[in-house]
Structure 1
């Protein structure tokens, strides 16, 4: 009896996460690979056709875009765990969890409407990306995951990121480039009276700190690189990864890397 119970416990430890992901749903696609966010060999499972949301790691629940971001960090900045990383609007899975666990100088932030900028709540700093309280050249890596489609006045955000990055630092981020080759399109703006004006019918995505959701303010296209340059003077590279061995396959999972030149680069 004891050995049987022990066996069931061991099976649940290995299969429990998979059972929680499936929850009676039909598996439409599966692929064996290595998850970069929980660092385990797993079988990625998709229970729906939209792989961006449905191709999950059964152990950590990460999605393809989160694993793609982790892959780019390891490719471009293999020493990321030793750097000062600020992540705006982290989530409770995937890359956010690994960054928070392994980076000793990891700074998570959210924009809380009821507290001053720069203060902390439960270890999370209150920051507005348009007017961050970080000192000039104090951050090695800014990380945002599907945040930039929700910000008002993105040109201010891009300038603030450039101001606070150390020379040689970078903004590494995901944002759905839904307009692709078409010009980016503003969906909503905010006035000096803080009132929101909708230029297109409102669209909302999930919000980790509000049940009201997050309003989509911009439908970005590939011309986001030009917008970033015009606002900040920094160049941006778009990285697209399609690699099932890391569970990275879906639409709109490009990772963008905006780099602030180092002192040596600027001399050249």
Structure 2
């Protein structure tokens, strides 16, 4: 990151509400369709390949690279094209980070400008993303959720810290930045998790997060909840995401909509905005790339 090279402008939309997003998309409609055509052209050129590479510039590596695209399990769309999972694909052959993670680090760098004195908390630790951030910034703390097997705030013999986002062991006003990628959808009481993040952030500190997000939905969609007895009640078809701590997968409790931004403001974040981005040059393909910035 922090390239010394002269690179193409990285443009993105910033919106604080569903209404503002709708207005921006109307204004930028031509650009949206242009990017769709670019992506269709790529898929047409490789329509007989279930796996191929696309060249581009990796902002994380600060170098030109190839991004891997896999669409073995993809279903054809109305044009007969098999659309890959752009968000979780396009892994850089050099750093190994996928589309979503590379984009998140790009936005984090551009909007927060972290430095060597920044104290950063990542809500993950067993990942290439954590290793990369820890190699760049000395004051980084990472953790995984391991339940109550060991006390929160303590570490395993392998040096993995156990934390629950709903009950963090950190002191008040401890971090400049919190970086959390696709974690909050797995927390039934996500409001409490937001409150804890707000508590441990320094004044003017920022929470940078990604979640499964429905850009065209004003409201959150609750997929499952936990009742008073601790039982899980499913309100939609159970959906499980990959879990670095095991093979079983972890349940998704909600898909977020623009309601989430209002909820963050209601609990005390001074400002919350969505950053919606897309770039052929940087390999950020697909139309569902959104990072959220909440400032204390």
Task: Tell me how far 1:236 sits from its aligned partner.
Answer: 1.1
Deviations 1:31-80 (A, max 9, x none): 43221233332022323222112222112221111111111111112234
Structure 1 pair 176/81, CA: closer, same or farther in 2 (3 Å)?
Answer: farther
2:236 — aligned with what? Answer: 200
CA-atom RMSD in angstroms: 2.0
What's the secondary structure of 1:76's corresponding residue? helix
1:133 — aligned with what? Answer: 169
What's the secondary structure of 1:237's corresponding residue? strand
1:171 aligns with 2:207: yes
Match of 1:41 among 64, 84, 98: 64
Task: Tell me how far 1:187 sits from its aligned partner.
Answer: 1.4
CA distance in 2, matches of 1:235, 1:90: 28
1:52 aligns with 2:87: yes
What's the secondary structure of 1:62's corresponding residue? coil
Task: Tell me how far 1:103 sits from its aligned partner.
Answer: 1.4
- Uncovered stretches (5+) of structure 2, i.e. residues with no partner: 1-47, 72-83
Do the aligned residues in 2 keep the contact of 1:156 with 1:231 (CA within 8 Å)? no
Structure 1 pair 146/90, CA: closer, same or farther in 2 (3 Å)?
Answer: farther
1:26 — aligned with what? Answer: 49
Structure 1 pair 79/89, CA: closer, same or farther in 2 (3 Å)?
Answer: closer
Which TM-score applies when normalising by structure 2?
0.73
Do the aligned residues in 2 keep the contact of 1:136 with 1:164 (CA within 8 Å)? yes
Do the aligned residues in 1 keep the contact of 2:120 with 2:179 (CA within 8 Å)? yes
CA distance in 1, matches of 2:104, 2:116: 14
Task: Tell me how far 1:91 sits from its aligned partner.
Answer: 4.8
Match of 2:113 among 78, 91, 95: 78
1:152 aligns with 2:188: yes
Larger helix percent: 1
Do the aligned residues in 2 keep the contact of 1:138 with 1:165 (CA within 8 Å)? yes
Which TM-score applies when normalising by structure 1?
0.81
1:108 — aligned with what? Answer: 142
Structure 1 pair 254/90, CA: closer, same or farther in 2 (3 Å)?
Answer: farther
CA distance in 2, matches of 1:79, 1:226: 26
Task: Tell me how far 1:110 sits from its aligned partner.
Answer: 0.9
What's the secondary structure of 1:197's corresponding residue? strand
1:223 aligns with 2:246: no
Task: Tell me how far 1:150 sits from its aligned partner.
Answer: 0.9
